[in-house]
Amino acid sequence: MPAEPTVPGALAEPFPAFGAAQLGRRGRRLPVVSLAIIGVFVLVALFAGALSPADPEAQSLRARFSPPVWDARGTWKHVLGTDRLGRDLLARVIWGARVSLTAGVLTVLLASAFGGAVGLVAGYYRGRVDAVLMRLTDATMSFPVILLALILAVTVGPSFANVVIAIAVILWARYARVVRGQVLTLMELDFIVQARIAGASAWRIITRHLLPNTLNTLVVLITLQIGYVIIVEASLSFLGAGIPPPTPAWGSMIAEGRDFVTSAWWVSFFPGLAILLVVLAFNLLGDWLRDTLDPKLRQL
């Protein structure tokens, strides 16, 4: 069993967290339900073409606002009903999984890659490099995400790419700060000090010693933020800056159906349910990861 570290989050070897001893000591059972939900939606996203009963963009104005099949006026042709242009809701939710999950994952990967890199560099070199990078980080962190996305949407028009870019461009700062904080304390550890004295290059230290020890934090943050990105996309759709029609994305589907919450409730309900399940699953998974890897990461 590795020695109890004196600094939160830092362990001499990466990923020891899944040993049985660790689990027994502070973890709970694997969050089976969350993993299952995520698994199902990932599969749906990957095999959308095969699973979808219809073309998600096929309009049929006369069939608009058809209710789901269990309603008196519902039909098996549209199991979950149709939206304001008569498009099949089940098809759109299925294809929407691909769009929304891709947006979430892509954004978070971009942000964490860039932010993590910045944090590592800043923490390792310190001094002026650190000062400059941290000022940039501070400036970025205080810019409201939604406003940036709105400005982009108004300037170059809303698009999938713009949503990903707008969010990632602000999100990286969070990763940078957290990683840097970790690196700063890691740098004080004996084995790293020794490595530097022994003449190891910056690259070697960063990739072989620092990065693995920050992976825990990154994994937790990434998991927790995927849900956040999906929710932000929904808010952006509401304001007109989200993933634009006719692309089926859960967020814009909810926004489109918002005037009919009590009449054509299904239009917003099913994509809303999808978002709820997916984001809940990611959040609970992230919580579990954090509790298992290190509960002291409570500021995440």
Write out the residues near other proteins by the rule CB under 8 A.
28, 59, 61-62, 64, 84-86, 126, 130-131, 134-136, 138-139, 141-148, 150-151, 154-155, 157-158, 181, 184-185, 227-228, 231, 234-235, 238-240, 244-246, 251, 254-256, 258-263, 268, 272, 275-276, 279-280, 283-284, 287, 295-296, 298-299
- Least separation in angstroms between residue 256's CB and other proteins is 8
CA distance 34 to 44: 15
- Least separation in angstroms between residue 56's CB and other proteins is 12
Residue 112 or 233: the one with the smaller Cβ distance to other proteins is 233
- Least separation in angstroms between residue 96's CB and other proteins is 13
- Least separation in angstroms between residue 150's CB and other proteins is 5
Which of 79, 73, 45, 78 lies closest to 59, judged by CA? Answer: 78
- Least separation in angstroms between residue 149's CB and other proteins is 10
- Residues whose CB is less than 8 angstroms from the CB of residue 296 and which lie 6 or more positions away in sequence, other chains included: 8, 9
> 174-196 burial by CB neighbour count: b if 16+ within 10 A, else e?
bbbbbbbbbbbbbbebeebeebe
State the greatest distance between any 2 C-alpha atoms of the chain, in Å, as a whole number. 77
Would you call 243 helix, strand, or coil by DSSP? Answer: coil
Would you call 82 helix, strand, or coil by DSSP? Answer: strand
- Least separation in angstroms between residue 11's CB and other proteins is 19
CA distance 113 to 102: 16
Q: Are 177 and 156 in contact (CB under 8 A)?
A: no
CA distance 102 to 207: 27
Residue 51 or 276: the one with the smaller Cβ distance to other proteins is 276
- Least separation in angstroms between residue 266's CB and other proteins is 14
Phi then psi for 88, rounded to 5 degrees? -65, 130
> 107-134 burial by CB neighbour count: b if 16+ within 10 A, else e?
bbebbbebbbbbbbbbbbeeeeebeebb
Residue 37 or 205: the one with the smaller Cβ distance to other proteins is 37
Residue 71 or 138: the one with the smaller Cβ distance to other proteins is 138
- Least separation in angstroms between residue 298's CB and other proteins is 4
Q: Are 119 and 272 in contact (CB under 8 A)?
A: no
Q: Helix 266-293 and helix 211-239: axis angle, to 10°?
A: 160
